[in-house]
Amino acid sequence: MKNNIRKLTFTAMLTALAIIIPIVFGPFLKIQIPPFSATLASHVPMFLAMLIAPEVAVVVGVGSAIGFLLTAPAVIAARAFTHTFVGLAGALMIRKGVSFKKVIVFTAPIHAILEALIVIPFGFTATKALYVVGIGTVAHHFVDGIITIILVGALERALRIKLTAISSEAK
């Protein structure tokens, strides 16, 4: 029971953060290199959710899509929706014992491919989707991955807990 309440609390907080980041921070953390755009730190809730559980990562990914749907064109919200699948893949890897840093590396190409594919129905050519969105997503993924690694380290030291242990408890 205690773990379910803890998981629900983390899910709610990270989903709220995934919604709030594009709304509150989007105006000054957004980088635009048309047709690509990125909001710094928007992947941080997804990465943190990976450490908790696959179902948490899925909910947070949907929250990310909602946040961007409220603030950006549909194509950007669709790209944010891919966080659902990237987060799920990462959380499953963590459950299998893959280190968090390796998960960030292994999910980068998944993230890039999904975001490149999702923009094609919105009129992007395959070339622009692959080179601009795909490569931009990989860069953004790693920047936010580094931010998350620093944040996880700080939280682990401050709270004196191992965040990856949360995922292990949920098995």
pLDDT at 84: 98
pLDDT at 167: 61
pLDDT along the chain (171 residues), means of 10: 87 98 92 87 98 97 98 96 98 96 98 97 93 94 98 93 67 53
Nearest to 52 by CA among 107, 13, 106: 13
* Residue 84: count of CB within 10 angstroms of its CB: 20
Non-local CB neighbours of 119 within 8 Å, separated by 6+ positions? 75, 78, 79, 128, 129, 133
pLDDT at 33: 82
